[in-house]
Structure 1
């Protein structure tokens, strides 16, 4: 067994062992006259998983999940839609099984305000939902103003596609319309942001599309950072799979975007000005607006939490998880949110019973495709201390040297991971 596989199995085993200790909660129920009310704001990987596992651990709980959309369009696999290897509807999922199979009450509405003192959530139609415990999983807010010249209106011409759905479809149409020999510019933000490997998987999958359909084209990456997730693996793959097509400019070399001209599809950076045929600008991010408006965020725009249970540092009986939280060494990913949600659900049930929560263990896996048959990954296991820290030697990245069969196997594992997390999160 390779060192990578050994680390991967260890990480998966540690995470699984934590999860396996938790369903014992389902054997007992909270001893109170009326069911405890738990409201979950946000139905992505974190919120949906929390709602499901709360009911799994204690069926007596009254669990309400609030989200305005009937369908959840996943950011994972949205880059494959850009490349034309997946359809948009294949990454859209309904939350109905959470209600039909697990008894979660689904409320399709926008949560507009949280009163942490009165312990209630207000909806856009004026309805108010009281809670005993609150889970806030609002995802990210895009800071359009973080890049001079950019705006929400400007995203209709220069898409970010960092919230999957209509923006994904728009960027795909632009790639299809681009002439062979055109230039795609992709501009990732500084850390922290949602899905650290995501922009570079996007580069890879767009490169695969261009290689197969428009081989005279090129991709320029103007990065606010000096390094990025799985950098060695991505760059080695670009050299072997897409030689001469991709150029990456680090922040220290003038890669940070200083201004965007939406009308002319050009960006100004430290090295000068560059014009694109297709411009994909990913702006800086913060926690979702409702978390900020509720006073749950720090001055940096992200929500500080207790690393043991993701309880808010700002309000009692509130837990913030997923992309919105400050999670130490854990990246902002769907896998991380799914893992955090299970720990939060266990902690809430334990708290309602006056019991100590099980020891927390978190896990994250990020798969990326370089092409449909070329996968790479990073995995890690984490435990809380002063912050959430990675367990030494618990995970790792794909080996730098691997044959085509190994890379294809990881691509197949990517499909399995996606199917698994969808089933686990949405019931």
Structure 2
């Protein structure tokens, strides 16, 4: 029997039970166990590659609380009206049924590094030989005075996709005529460097369709941002007079909010707004802190294998890492997951391991068929993951090239989600 082709247990109560608790068949037969926490671009990919390439030699358990995963990448296109929400939603059924992965829908609440176990909120304890953490981001407490998670329904962050994305779009659609949208942008480093500015573009596109006299205020603590010349060129071309950005020279780094009054205070000046998107400073998902593998807000890793610099049995992927030159993106996490899977499989089964190489591309949509991109290739050094070379779209490109860039991004989305979820 091919162990990686084990049938996922039917439907109804049996299927629910299989999702709630890991299959313990491997414990009796001595297969090495890998537990993966987090089912996004890093976690889902590493789980799939470990199961697929080991051909059942490794027992893989994926712990992810949500049954439906919404990609943060491309969520801005839902806000802009270019996609519906279901198009960025993905389930884990294929990983279970086709690859024999034990998919457990629960929260990981504890890690005992000495005993090599993970404790889940439901009470289960999962033993591991290797642990992979790919929890994405959490927010730094107090990063924006006046805002915390209790305020996320009044001033959504929408930087974890799903209900927050849906809420922000609904608020935008309900803005009064000629109203004002504000975004509080995050400081470096954060998930998806071009993301806030693609969001500004998509908000502007939506408002230009339904509320053309509305205004957008961007309050930004950074002097410069990813693809700045491309975004500013696009805003001037497509949304002239709609977008105003306040950088640190004019108080963009001195901001506080009042969700009850719907105000944003910039360097002491109070601005009344109708909708406010607060994207706070970020840190590694909390399970990294629980595991004790953070150095400050992020988890340092060795780029050759994505192994934690604090525990040789834990690998960390994606947004949560401090790894060097790669941006925090879905493409990066997917690329890192393949390196980690190869390293883990080599250690557990003796398979061949090749030198680590990585790549990343981030596409952004500015307006209909106006796509831009930035990307690079990377290699591992003993100090970090180092950038080798890069590319970026240029200002002044013709419409045919911009359309081709957008269409390229659609192909990439289809490809990466298939690579993640099978």
TM-score by length of 2: 0.91
How far is the alpha carbon of 1:354 from its aligned partner?
Answer: 4.8
Q: Deviations over 1:260-316 (max 9, x none)?
A: 1111111122262212111111011110111111101112x1000111111001112
Q: 2: distance between equivalents of 1:144 and 1:41?
A: 23
How far is the alpha carbon of 1:404 from its aligned partner?
Answer: 1.0
Q: Could you tell me whether the CA contact under 8 Å between 2:51 and 2:100 is conserved in 1? A: yes
Cα–Cα, structure 1 residues 213 and 371, in superposed 2: closer, same or farther, change >3 Å? Answer: same
Report the 3-state secondary structure (helix = DSSP H, G, I; strand = E; otherwise coil) of the residue aligned with 1:81. Answer: helix
Q: Could you tell me whether the CA contact under 8 Å between 1:147 and 1:283 is conserved in 2? A: yes
Q: Deviations over 1:20-68 (max 9, x none)?
A: xxxxxxxxxxxxx721101101100100000001112212110000011
Q: Where does residue 258 of structure 2 map in the other structure?
A: 261
Report the 3-state secondary structure (helix = DSSP H, G, I; strand = E; otherwise coil) of the residue aligned with 2:343. Answer: helix
Q: Where does residue 132 of structure 2 map in the other structure?
A: 135
Which runs of no fewer than 5 residues in structure 2 stay unpaired? Answer: 1-28
Report the 3-state secondary structure (helix = DSSP H, G, I; strand = E; otherwise coil) of the residue aligned with 2:99. Answer: coil
Q: Where does residue 95 of structure 1 map in the other structure?
A: 92
Q: 1: distance between equivalents of 2:341 and 2:150?
A: 38
Q: Where does residue 30 of structure 2 map in the other structure?
A: 34
Q: Where does residue 47 of structure 1 map in the other structure?
A: 43
Report the 3-state secondary structure (helix = DSSP H, G, I; strand = E; otherwise coil) of the residue aligned with 2:131. Answer: strand
Q: Could you tell me whether the CA contact under 8 Å between 2:173 and 2:210 is conserved in 1? A: no
Q: 2: distance between equivalents of 1:142 and 1:257?
A: 18
How far is the alpha carbon of 1:376 from its aligned partner?
Answer: 0.4
Report the 3-state secondary structure (helix = DSSP H, G, I; strand = E; otherwise coil) of the residue aligned with 1:146. Answer: coil
Select the residue among 333, 338, 343 that pairs with 2:339: 343
How far is the alpha carbon of 1:389 from its aligned partner?
Answer: 1.0
Select the residue among 397, 407, 411 that pairs with 2:402: 407
Q: Deviations over 1:175-225 (max 9, x none)?
A: 010022111111111001111100000000110111121111111110011
Q: 2: distance between equivalents of 1:53 and 1:251?
A: 44
Report the 3-state secondary structure (helix = DSSP H, G, I; strand = E; otherwise coil) of the residue aligned with 2:235. Answer: helix
Q: 1: distance between equivalents of 2:323 and 2:184?
A: 25
1:164 paired to 2:161 = yes
Q: 1: distance between equivalents of 2:30 and 2:135?
A: 28
1:189 paired to 2:195 = no
Q: 2: distance between equivalents of 1:372 and 1:119?
A: 50
Q: Where does residue 375 of structure 2 map in the other structure?
A: 379
Select the residue among 197, 201, 206 that pairs with 2:203: 206
Report the 3-state secondary structure (helix = DSSP H, G, I; strand = E; otherwise coil) of the residue aligned with 2:142. Answer: helix
1:306 paired to 2:290 = no
Q: Could you tell me whether the CA contact under 8 Å between 1:116 and 1:316 is conserved in 2? A: no
Q: Where does residue 296 of structure 1 map in the other structure?
A: 293
* Structure of greater relative contact order (alpha carbons < 8 Å, 6+ residues apart): 1
1:422 paired to 2:414 = no
Count residues with an aligned counterpart.
Answer: 393
Which runs of no fewer than 5 residues in structure 1 stay unpaired? Answer: 1-32
Q: Where does residue 284 of structure 1 map in the other structure?
A: 281
Q: What's the Cα RMSD here?
A: 1.4
Q: 2: distance between equivalents of 1:44 and 1:345?
A: 15
Q: Could you tell me whether the CA contact under 8 Å between 1:254 and 1:270 is conserved in 2? A: yes
Select the residue among 215, 219, 240 that pairs with 1:243: 240
Report the 3-state secondary structure (helix = DSSP H, G, I; strand = E; otherwise coil) of the residue aligned with 1:156. Answer: coil
Q: Where does residue 327 of structure 1 map in the other structure?
A: 323
How far is the alpha carbon of 1:160 from its aligned partner?
Answer: 0.6
Q: 1: distance between equivalents of 2:84 and 2:351?
A: 46
Q: 2: distance between equivalents of 1:252 and 1:417?
A: 37
1:218 paired to 2:219 = no
Report the 3-state secondary structure (helix = DSSP H, G, I; strand = E; otherwise coil) of the residue aligned with 2:410. Answer: helix
How far is the alpha carbon of 1:379 from its aligned partner?
Answer: 1.3
Q: Could you tell me whether the CA contact under 8 Å between 1:253 and 1:271 is conserved in 2? A: no
Report the 3-state secondary structure (helix = DSSP H, G, I; strand = E; otherwise coil) of the residue aligned with 1:419. Answer: helix
Cα–Cα, structure 1 residues 391 and 148, in superposed 2: closer, same or farther, change >3 Å? Answer: same
Cα–Cα, structure 1 residues 137 and 294, in superposed 2: closer, same or farther, change >3 Å? Answer: same
How far is the alpha carbon of 1:146 from its aligned partner?
Answer: 1.4
